[in-house]
Amino acid sequence: MSPRGVAIPDPRERLFAAAERVLSREGPAALTSRAITTEAGCAKGLLHAHFDGLDEFVAELALDRLARTAREAAELPGRAGRATVAGNLVTVALALLGSLEPAVIGLAMTRSGAALRIRRALEAGAPGFAAMQDAITAYLDAERRLGRLANGTDTATVALALVGTLHHLLMTGWAGAPHPREPAERLIALLIGSGPGDAESARTTPPG
């Protein structure tokens, strides 16, 4: 337990990580302010010092994880011409699928206050699925200009299909469900007309 008066480095991330552990181990019903701060090993009032209740905390956790993946997706156009197209897309897909515990998404959607905060934040421009879609479209446009993607590829539709499917996989990725990596790889291969080996290479070959 952190002593009173001692600063805690990055308290938001400490609380976010603690909440993810509680959710992963015990499920949404166990997530309370007390459970989070106990898991984080900090004072009970820390969560309420940074968030206006549990709904805001859950919303900010989901938005933080979405923003983290959106930042990674924003780097995707810079990878054009390197590695493989399928491999680069798989890298971003796996980052998104690993950025949010399915229980976090499920909890955020079932808590009306959290869901409303998330929707308003995204409408106001917070980085989320729309930003990822734009980054993927820009990347595919760059690869098409380089001749690594068929000239007639509808890049915006490919990006929409990929992000929409990843959203679905996140929403249905409950405990015991098959890992979503394989269907994501198959979809990417289908959308861009690559062989399965191109997507498979993303598991062993780092981008760049």
What's the pLDDT score for residue 7?
A: 47
Q: What is the mean pLDDT of the chain?
A: 83
Running DSSP on this structure, what letter comes out for residue 168? H
d(CA 138, CA 75): 10
Per residue in 143-202, pLDDT (tens digit) is: 999 999 999 999 999 999 999 998 888 777 655 666 777 888 899 999 988 644 444 444
How many other CB atoms sit within 10 Å of the CB of residue 32? 12
* Residue found by looking up tokens 């062989």 in the block: 195
Per residue in 71-114, pLDDT (tens digit) is: 888 999 999 999 999 999 998 898 888 777 777 777 787 888 89
Per residue in 12-68, pLDDT (tens digit) is: 999 999 999 998 888 888 889 999 999 999 988 889 999 999 999 999 998 998 888
